[in-house]
Amino acid sequence: MRVDGPAHTRRKPPYITPYAEESLDLPLAFEWAAGLPRLTYRDALPQEWMFGALWVRCGTLREGVREGTPLWPMIHSLRQRRCMLKQRCRVCGESATDPDTRRIWWVMPSALPVNEAPQATTHAPTCRACVPEALTACPALRRGLPALYTVGSTSPIGVLANLYGQDDDGRVVELRHQVGVGLDDVLRLHQALATQLIVLLEDVVRVERW
């Protein structure tokens, strides 16, 4: 893949990167919901559930403020969801949809399997203009042999999550770390603290030159 474009000049971390100043404590507990124990926060808000799962709590800096101590290579949960659901660029936060073709630009850490579509991923899209910077700034992309694609459409199918339970004394304990949970798996969604949204990529076309 040939990557042309503007030189790497951005000094701030990508949109999807969290800052230490956005980290919050996690006062977790269990409650009963629909006849099942469900993970919750002791002071949970309705908007902290989406797709049947409790989402990791993370702060946000004031709109337009992008400064602080970046937490490489972590992912900001709320901004990752925005990127996945609204097709925003992981680097600049603007639309990753090509205005001419209406296709979504996407960079993967490695080539996807040939002739196996659709594809599931937690990696957020990247607008065409930010592809060079994503290849420079993203640790996952630097470690692999990245490949560039355009995507026709997406749909949410699961979450990446930590699963929790209770020990003999009723304390909340982590049982599994960073596992995929389908949106139809109600039992495990009740145990999940979701960190990233998994979407299905459809009509995936590799871009060799651009």
> Rounded distance, CA 58 to CA 79, Å?
10
Rounded to two decimals, the pTM is 0.89
Percent of the chain topping pLDDT 90? 70
Question: CB under 8 Å to 17, separation ≥6 — which residues?
Answer: 70, 71, 72, 73, 74, 75, 76
Asked if 57 and 26 count as a contact pair (C-beta separation under 8 A), the reply is yes
- Of 155, 199, 162, 189, residue with least CA distance to 50: 189
In this prediction, residue 65 has a pLDDT band, given cuts at 50, 70 and 90, of low
Q: What is the pLDDT of residues 159-200, one digit of tens each?
A: 999 999 999 999 999 999 999 999 999 999 999 999 999 999
8: pLDDT strictly greater than 60: no
65's tokens: 């403020």
Question: CB under 8 Å to 53, separation ≥6 — which residues?
Answer: 159, 161, 181, 189, 192, 193, 194
What backbone torsions phi and psi does residue 72 show, to the nearest 5 degrees?
-80, 140
